[in-house]
């Protein structure tokens, strides 16, 4: 079935929040959602409070209580709280480059705004700010700030220039679609390189579930995805939306697979040069 041409625009269309490389290639770095961030923060909060209670229990035992007066006990209690909510989070984030037990559970990592690993300065600013927005306000300030920005950043992230990156990868979908017969000739010259990874995953998920949808829902979703995809494809064929999506996914997959094979062949060809010794240089064991 032939439909109207899909709407397209000239030039590349990029998301302002998307991280771009020097070659103008968008990196598929997804920020962690608000719910996952909250779940990870709750786990870390409970662990910090548990560690502090453990310290309080230790200093209340007869062995330590006999050595500490009331003033010393209060000082140790405050020092233990600072140790649990500032020093421990700063050390853990610095050593693990943005990880914690709570983030391991939800599949997140704290990174810089440019995608790089955080350092001591970032971890310390986040931990120090977290005393106010997480521990003193029971997460109220952090939740309010996170809901007001696109990357779910809390106040500490805004001050430190960081955000929480989602590192969980969705289950790989089997490549079950090939280029439709009607679009084989089009596929030899089509440009699909600018298509974002996130959009490609959505299209692949739709194609995998299309047979379970009602005809009206299937047509509507296919048209919506096709109009969105057409901004990154040139030329746009005069075929139905679902055939167009299947062709784009197949072409993109085949070309990426070919690029990986060529890269592997080049590395294998250069391996003797890269790993060998210079000409005439003796090999020493």
The domain spans of the chain are 30-166, 172-274
In the predicted structure, residue 20 carries a pLDDT above the cut 60? no
Whether the CB-CB separation of 206 and 245 falls below 8 Å is answered with yes
pLDDT digits (tens, 9 = 90+) for 21-41: 443 444 556 888 899 999 999
Over range 231-259, report the average pLDDT.
87
**217's tokens:** 């829902």
Report the phi/psi class of residue 270: left, alpha or beta, with left for phi > 0 and alpha for psi in -120 to 50: alpha
**What predicted TM-score, i.e. pTM, was given to this entire model?**
0.56
Q: What is the pLDDT of residue 280?
A: 61
Q: Read off the pLDDT band of 213 (50, 70, 90).
A: confident
In the predicted structure, residue 173 carries a pLDDT above the cut 90? no
Over range 9-32, report the average pLDDT.
50
DSSP state of 234: B
pLDDT digits (tens, 9 = 90+) for 122-171: 999 999 999 999 988 988 999 999 999 888 899 999 999 999 998 876 66
**73's tokens:** 């006990």
* Higher-pLDDT residue of 281, 129: 129
pLDDT digits (tens, 9 = 90+) for 98-127: 999 999 999 999 999 888 889 999 999 999
Over range 83-98, report the average pLDDT.
94
CA distance 193 to 239: 20
**Of 47, 50, 51, the residue nearest 100 (C-alpha):** 47
CA distance 172 to 5: 31
Q: How crowded is residue 230: how many other Cβ atoms within 10 Å of its Cβ?
A: 21
Whether the CB-CB separation of 220 and 147 falls below 8 Å is answered with no
**Distance set, CA 88 to CA 44, 100, 128 (Å):** 11, 10, 11
DSSP state of 283: P
CA distance 248 to 193: 10
CA distance 260 to 251: 14
% of the chain surpassing 90 pLDDT: 34
> Considering Cα of 157, then 14, then 172, then 221, what sign does the dihedral take?
positive
Helix (H) or strand (E) holding 26: strand 26-27
């Amino acid at each position: 079935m032939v439909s109207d041409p899909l709407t397209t625009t000239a030039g590349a269309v990029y998301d302002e929040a998307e991280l771009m490389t020097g070659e103008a290639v968008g990196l598929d770095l997804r920020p962690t959602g608000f719910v996952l961030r909250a779940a990870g923060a709750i786990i870390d909060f409970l662990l910090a409070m548990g560690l502090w209670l453990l310290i309080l229990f230790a200093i209340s035992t007869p062995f330590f209580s006999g050595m500490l007066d009331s003033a010393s006990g209060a000082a140790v209690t405050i020092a233990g709280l600072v140790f649990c909510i500032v020093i421990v989070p700063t050390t853990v984030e610095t050593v693990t480059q943005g990880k914690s037990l709570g983030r391991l559970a939800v599949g997140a990592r704290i990174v810089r705004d440019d995608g790089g690993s955080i350092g001591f300065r970032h971890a310390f600013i986040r931990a120090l700010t977290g005393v106010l927005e997480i521990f003193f306000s029971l997460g109220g300030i952090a939740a309010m700030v996170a809901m007001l920005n696109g990357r779910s950043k809390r106040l500490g992230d805004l001050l430190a220039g960081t955000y929480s990156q989602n590192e969980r990868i969705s289950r790989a979908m089997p490549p079950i679609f090939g280029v439709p017969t009607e679009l084989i000739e089009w596929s030899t010259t089509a440009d699909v390189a600018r298509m974002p990874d996130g959009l490609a995953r959505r299209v692949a998920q739709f194609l995998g579930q299309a047979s379970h949808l009602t005809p009206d829902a299937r047509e509507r979703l296919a048209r919506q995805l096709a109009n969105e995809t057409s901004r990154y494809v040139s030329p746009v064929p005069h075929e139905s939306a679902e055939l167009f999506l299947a062709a784009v996914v197949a072409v993109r997959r085949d070309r990426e697979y070919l690029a990986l094979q060529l890269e592997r062949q080049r590395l294998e060809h250069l391996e003797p040069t890269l790993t060998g010794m210079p000409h005439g240089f003796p090999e020493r064991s």
